[in-house]
Structure 1
Amino acid sequence: MPHIHFNQVLVFSPITHTQMTWADPGDRQGADFTTPGYWQGLARTLERGRFDGVFFADTLALPAESQASAADTMAFGSYFPRLDPFALIPYMASVTEHLGFGVTLSTAGTPPFLAVRRLGTLDNLTGGRVAWNVVTSHVRNDFEALGLTRPDHDSRYDQAEDYMEICYRLWDAFPRDAVVADREKGVYIDPARVGKVDFDGKYMKCHAYPVVMNSPQGRPLIFQAGQSGRGLSFAATHADAIYGLQPRLGAMTKFVEAADAAGLAAGKPDRPRVFFGLQPIIGGTEAEARAKRSALAKRVPVKTALSRFGAMIGADLDDRDLDQPLADVTTNASQGLLSAMLDVFEGRVPSIREAALHWGTSYGMPQLVGTPEQVADQIETFWRQSRCHGFNISPTVNPTSVEDFVDGVVPILRKRGLMRSDYEGRTFRDNLHA
């Protein structure tokens, strides 16, 4: 029987998506995010809740469009400092057996050979529990930090096609059964089973033997957050799962339909597995949950909301009239995110201030505010009517936000037959496809 799949979104920083949560008296992430034990506790809780995996959102550089917004980003702890999840995942994997780990790695700045090596190492160490969130990097700061020039929107995807082709060839060239470890013959690797990659593309080249064999799941799963037409086409072609950021049920349904069409156009035999972002805010009563939501929103300064929102859509908003319509803002960065934000307000064009503050609390995703039963009802409605595969859950105050969901909402969904009672397999691929 089909069931809802869940991933937990996290960021290796003092906060995840909601700004200023580190200042909440009940939050531990702000103080403990450099402590392995904190993350291991989250991993145990999520495995107890039978989540498919953890999805680490990440960018490379400080996300700010001006010196003033950079100072605000630092002062308010807005994804800053931000550490490397590749180093964190082995700690979390060591205390779990089934939980998967999605890690973000950009096609900008990391050659595909190195990406395959890093991802393959992690995938082997975890027994096949790694997914790669492929991003083409739309944030200007990432390119400047690496000494690169940011390509235009479509060129990023053109270059990424070469990138992915090299990765596929490297994965295909070193199957797991090439490791024979024959003591009598003194042969560890059968050279006949390892191929050399010779690729000369329009944008990238690679001439090498791969140095990492496939993991128990073959290669890492691929996640991609394509929102625009070109991005969605790229995701439908390459991804095992697509992350869609949509603000309302109607928009989710349209996105799934668009993903289905993109999958057919790409010749994929199966429907794309679409995950949507949701942010539950749970209370013992509806009034308590609404009070939590109000407290979170009041804590977000306009400055930090503007700096983060501006960085995400690729626009310097510092000198803008904050009451100016968001529709007047143009960007060469994440066009899909800008479009999704315009859709949040259901036909009414928001001001820059409104959009930024909404982003600062919810990251543009639906907030499910209520008791565990009410949140479960909303999740079931979203899942059934959108026909998505599952949801990426964004926390607020951690670890209580994760614990409230696992201890309050998961048992209700399980009782309704909407969520697994145990894992179907050992690898991330096994559990995602179940």
Structure 2
Amino acid sequence: MTDQVRKKRAHLLGFIQHGVNSHATGMWRNPKDKIGWNFARPEYWRHIAQTMERGMFDAMFIADELAPYNTFEDSSDATVKWAVQCPTHEPSTIVPIITGATRHLGVGVTLSTAFEHPYSMCRRLSSLDHLSGGRVAWNIVSSYSKSEWDAYGAVMTDRSQRYARLEEYMEVCYKLWNSWEPDAIVADKESGIYADPAKVHEVIHEGQFYKCRGRHFCAPSPQGQPVLWQAGSSGQGRDFASKHAEAIFAVHPNVDRMKQYADDLNDRTINKFGRAPGSVKLIYGLQTVVAETRSEAQEKYERIKACIPLEGAIAWISGHFGLDFSKFSMDDIVQNIEIPGIQGLFESIIYAKGGAPVTVKEAALIYAQGMGMPVAVGTASDIADQIEHYMDEGGADGFMLAATYTPGCFEEFADLVAPELQRRGRLRTRYEGATLRENLLAS
């Protein structure tokens, strides 16, 4: 067996939102952004989906936020003014468009457990899995930002009970997805019996947080249940992800942090939860800026950074981390600030300069560029080198490729980087599975 055959192949996810701007703030201003395209039209999503499939991506990852961030100055004015992930449309609405335009590409949809009962969540996801022929994943989140709870007129739940609530939510989901026995559907036209009620079990659940009495309204979908994705960063979060997820997402600024995370997550999944090695894929955030020459790539990168509005960047970190950064000096050091929001992503800022002090201004601009992800800038060969380094030394099984200007950033990756990875034996040359789960879990 050759060295090339033994090498891991990268799993690629296109990280994007159903909105005017994704995770690189200000990209709507970029002269390369959405030339001739409108994000609110189906044609745009068909094109991006077909581009990702051409690049042999596993799936499109649709991130989401349920309401405009309003932590900065106790207002969502800056969020609206600077298009900080705003406007953003509901993510699951484009799933049939994406999967209808492709044969193999999966789609992962971010859906919050905070304001939706498990019964309707299961019905929606099973329906999408049927319509896509088994190519749907669910990125499991519980709403973290003040704006979401304000928009729904609810009081934010106690953080200490967050994972107990999530565990029970998943318990109800599993009961519903598993409630139809494989031979429950009879479909006997002569007798008129469609399904045997003895084999379609009624779920009766009365727990601390949820109650449910009813049969799952959907027959088993091609995957049985969607592929489960999760981003775990705290100790409890890592346990939840290690127990439930089939792909775990993380943002780490350097290979050392990636390796530490990989060692910890692999230990939890295998030794604590008894899952088989390779049954959970570790997917790391990466932003790429590729061109035919290094100088051209660097010029593109400088234009991307120049589009970021500082106030918009401050509004975003305020919303994500649950703290109004307008109350701090731009020269304050973020390592000295305690935040209530997403701990794991805050660490990506803390270690953005290798542990050296990071000011509030620096943190905001780094985060607004791509959530603190490492950035690969250069030729296709340069970027492939970096990807291989993160896989071989950092434990990555694949990458969430964060959007900059669209659809150009994905077109350039598919046209330049994907062929280079294929030449190195680091990317599939064809899809081997019929479902997203089969393709994602392939080595």
> How does the TM-score come out when normalised to structure 2?
0.95
- Contact (CA 8 Å) 2:37, 2:44: kept in 1 or not? no
Give distance in 2, aligned partners of 1:152 and 1:377.
44
Q: Structure 1 residues 400, 212: CA separation in 2 closer, same or farther (over 3 Å shift)?
A: same
- Contact (CA 8 Å) 2:255, 2:390: kept in 1 or not? yes
Give distance in 1, aligned partners of 2:273 and 2:282.
16
Shift of 1:71: 1.2
SS in 1 for 2:86: coil
Q: Does 1:83 align with 2:89?
A: yes
- Contact (CA 8 Å) 2:376, 2:386: kept in 1 or not? yes
User: Aligned residue for 2:374?
Assistant: 366
Matched residue type, 2:303: A
Q: Give the count of matched residue pairs.
A: 434
Q: Does 1:268 align with 2:275?
A: yes
- From 187, 209, 215, the equivalent of 2:215 is 209
Q: Structure 1 residues 175, 389: CA separation in 2 closer, same or farther (over 3 Å shift)?
A: farther
- From 160, 169, 176, the equivalent of 1:163 is 169
User: Aligned residue for 2:179?
Assistant: 173
Shift of 1:179: 2.6
Matched residue type, 1:11: Q
User: Aligned residue for 1:357?
Assistant: 365
Q: Deviations over 1:321-369 (max 9, x none)?
A: 1111112322222112112221112121211111001011121100000
- Contact (CA 8 Å) 2:291, 2:380: kept in 1 or not? yes
- Contact (CA 8 Å) 2:246, 2:281: kept in 1 or not? yes
Q: How does 1:190-269 map to 2 (within 5 A)?
A: 190-263=196-269, 264-269=271-276
> How does the TM-score come out when normalised to structure 1?
0.97
Matched residue type, 2:230: Q
Matched residue type, 2:49: A
- Contact (CA 8 Å) 2:72, 2:314: kept in 1 or not? no
- From 24, 27, 52, the equivalent of 1:18 is 24
Shift of 1:171: 0.5
Q: Deviations over 1:393-430 (max 9, x none)?
A: 11211111001100000001111111111101111111
Aligned structure 1 segments of 4 or more residues deviating by more than 4 angstroms: none
Matched residue type, 2:176: L
Shift of 1:132: 0.3
- Contact (CA 8 Å) 2:345, 2:371: kept in 1 or not? no
* Residue ranges of structure 2 left out of the alignment (5+ in a row): none
User: Aligned residue for 2:61?
Assistant: 55
Shift of 1:67: 5.2
Matched residue type, 2:308: V
- Contact (CA 8 Å) 1:22, 1:29: kept in 2 or not? no
Shift of 1:176: 5.2
Give distance in 2, aligned partners of 1:415 and 1:27.
29
Give distance in 1, aligned partners of 2:259 and 2:346.
18
Q: Structure 1 residues 69, 30: CA separation in 2 closer, same or farther (over 3 Å shift)?
A: farther
Give distance in 2, aligned partners of 1:34 and 1:160.
32
Q: Which moved more, 1:265-274 or 1:300-309?
A: 265-274
Q: Deviations over 1:263-313 (max 9, x none)?
A: 121222334311001000112211111111111112211100000011111
- Contact (CA 8 Å) 1:69, 1:303: kept in 2 or not? no
Shift of 1:68: 6.4
Q: How does 1:131-150 map to 2 (within 5 A)?
A: 131-150=137-156
Give distance in 2, aligned partners of 1:29 and 1:121.
33
Percent identity between matched residues is: 36
Q: Deviations over 1:360-390 (max 9, x none)?
A: 1121100000011111111111111122221
Give distance in 1, aligned partners of 2:430 and 2:304.
34
- From 173, 184, 192, the equivalent of 1:186 is 192
Shift of 1:147: 2.1
Give distance in 1, aligned partners of 2:142 and 2:183.
32
- Contact (CA 8 Å) 1:285, 1:371: kept in 2 or not? yes
SS in 2 for 1:344: coil
